[in-house]
A = this chain, B = another copy of it.
């Protein structure tokens, strides 16, 4: 039942995503005490053209 969403820049390999969902699920299972099957993770990649900090797109920094 916990749903986790990750937003990050593109550029990670499929292996990194694989490792992330494994480790983040383990973190949820151990700390929140829930079965692994109940943990859903959705990854969204946001390009630097669409993410800004301090009023500036990251593609411009």
Binding site for B on A (CB under 8 A): 1-9, 12, 14, 16-28, 30-34, 36-37, 39-46, 49-57, 60
Partner of A39, one of B22, B32, B45, B54: B54
Given the interface pairs A16-B31, A31-B16, A44-B50, the reply to whether A56 lies near B23 with Cβ below 8 Å is no
Specify which chain B residues have a CB less than 8 angstroms from the CB of A20 in the assembled complex. 27-28, 31-32
A16 CB to nearest B CB, Å? 6
Given the interface pairs A6-B3, A16-B33, the reply to whether A51 lies near B56 with Cβ below 8 Å is no
Can you spell out 17 A-B residue pairs with CB atoms less than 8 angstroms apart? A3-B3, A3-B40, A3-B42, A4-B6, A6-B28, A7-B42, A12-B32, A14-B49, A16-B33, A18-B57, A21-B56, A24-B27, A24-B28, A39-B55, A42-B50, A43-B52, A44-B50
